[in-house]
Structure formats: C-alpha cells, structure tokens
Amino acid sequence: MNANTQKLQALGQSLWLDNISRQMLNDGTLARYIGELSITGLTSNPTIFEHAIGKGAAYDVQIAPLSRAGRFGEDLFNQLALSDLVRAADLFKPVHDATGGVDGWVSLELSPLLVDDSDTSIESAARLHEAAARPNLYIKIPGTKAGVKAIEESIFAGVPINVTLLFSREQYLASAEAYLRGIERRLSAGKSAQVDSVASLFVSRWDVAVKDRVPAGERNRLGIAIARRTYKAYRELLQSARWQKLAAAGARPQRLLFGSTGTKDPDAPDTLYVEALAAPDTVNTIPDKTLLAFAEHGNVGATMPVDGGDAEAVIAQFRARGIDDAALAEQLQQEGAAAFAKSWKSLLGEIAGKAARLA
C-alpha cells in the first residue's frame, strides 16, 4: 500500500476516485487503485461518462443489444452506467462491510435536466437506487433550491444521497438541514435513523473563476478558504445538540466531501488541494492524475483547522478585490449545473449515434 495515501487514510479521510470507465474495470486499474492506493470509493457524473462512453468501443457490446431491444436515450444510458457502477460497488463491498457502511460507496448522478424538478428527482432517485440493488450506491442530487426538497424526501424514503454541486458554507448548510429533517422525520415515523449521505463541496472551480481578477500571488487561495469555512460549519454541526440527539438514535454523519480537487493552474503544485484539504471525518474525490501525483510525491502535513483558520481573513481580502463570494457561489452552482446538462445532452447524442451505427 502506498505510504502517502495511507497517511490520509490514517488521519480519517477517505480517498475516492473521481472517475469510472468500463476500461478501468476490465483492465484491473480500479482494483489496483483499491489494493495499492487506498481508494475506498468513487464518484461519477455526466461529464465522466461522456468521456468514458465516447472513447473507444468498450460499451458497444452492450449498446447494440439494448438498442435492438428498444432501449434508447436516458433509459439506455442508465443501463450502461448501472452496469459499471454495480461492478464497482461489488469491488468496494469488502470496504463497505469492513467499515460498517461508512465507506466503500459509488455514486450515480440524476439527469441534470431535473435540476429544477424536485418531484421527478425524488421519483428517479428511488427508481435508480432500486434498480442498482446495491446498498453502497449513492444517488447524486444537486444542492440547489429545488434539490433541497428532493434530498429531504429521498433521505426520508431511505435512499442514500450524495449531495453535489455545493460551492459555499450556506449551500452546504442547506443540504445538511435537508438531511437532518429527513432523518428526524424517519424517527418520528418509527423508521431507522441510518440513511447515509455525503455533501460534496467543489473547491478548485473557485480559483479558476477568479484567476484573472487577482494578482498571481493571490491565486489558488480562495477555494481552500471556502473549504475551511465550510469545514468549520461541518464540525460545529457535529457538536450541536440537535445532531447529538440523532447520533444517539443511530444516525451517521453526512460526511463533508471535497470535490473538484485536481489542480487546474499549471503553475501550482499538482497536489495542492489534496494536501490543503487533509481532514478527519471527510472524503476527498480526486481524478486519476492527481491520485498518481499524490502517491508519488504528496505530503500530508497539518490537518485543516476546525476553527476555519485564516478562512475569513482570506475571503475578506478577495472581497476587497471586488469579489462577492455569495454571488459567485450562486454563479458557480448555476454554471456547474449548465455544464453537466451540456455533457448530458452530448452523452445521449453520442450513445444515440453509436446505437444507430451498431444497428
């Protein structure tokens, strides 16, 4: 096992892969990451599947019979995605069992076209989780205003949720509130308090958004400050009387997950965000390139300060530059949803083209 990734695992942070493809399942890459690099879960999204299905012919053998059987569009994609994610979930099942269900998860995202449709999101989340028939599969729902309702109702229904597209402390707290309400309603209804969830805060996109608005010496600092501010709120929530009551009833924390942690700036260290976001009781999802870089030359130093450290001072510096972090968080969430919708449409077009050619 790699010493660098083991250090993160030892301090209580899970490393999940921000990628999936049929090729890495077939050639043993994912199994190697699990066995050698401490990977204990993975996430997927429409952009990841767009790249995976669009490249090569690995999915053609399944697309052809499914299309001949009348499967098309979103239904056909879900069949392809679930085939991969079920295999991945089974690879992670030993981790899931060994950690009592805390770790060993995979994630499938709902159609990004449902971002403003709470009711259909609730129905789709339940249907897809049932179709997967795996206890360690999260359904990803964006933490938008419409998504908050879908998160609460899905948790109440017993569907494990990965809340995605969070960009601020406030957006995180809204998703955490939805999770708490869902668990509280389950307890009131005489149901188990144990329905798992993570809340995914996107980090590096902050720094991409402001890189041309600040001097070089201030780049790649805002995303980490936002993460520190959010981590402080997360730790405070876990200390609250409200949460302690739910924990005593058997609920597990909705772990804070750091996403978008690959370095986008070629002048910055390629392990910047992994090292800065080291923190117990959290998850870091990283792309292959960042995982391999960290395994080779990463360093685990001090963990994130539970009091937020210099987060507020750094954010204040950016505000002095004219950057409204609250407005930018909303903008980044909207842009993220739009980017996933674009990938989704491109993905479905790619699948339809393959189906037509193979037919």
Residue 345 is a catalytic residue: no
**Catalytic residue among 7, 55, 93, 140, which?**
140
All residues at 6 or more sequence positions from 264 whose CB lies less than 8 Å from its CB, including other chains: 204, 207, 208
Q: How many residues does the chain have?
A: 359
Q: Is 197 left (phi over 0), alpha (psi -120 to 50) or beta?
A: beta
Q: Distance between CA 340 and CA 168 in Å, rounded?
A: 19
71-74-75-80 Cα dihedral, nearest 10 degrees: 90
Question: Among candidates 95, 112, 123, which has minimal Cα distance to 14?
Answer: 95
DSSP secondary structure string, 317-339? HHHHTT--HHHHHHHHHHHHHHH
Q: Distance between CA 70 and CA 143 in Å, rounded?
A: 34
All residues at 6 or more sequence positions from 68 whose CB lies less than 8 Å from its CB, including other chains: 359
- Say which residue the tokens 């949803």 belong to: 337
| Residues that are catalytic | 140
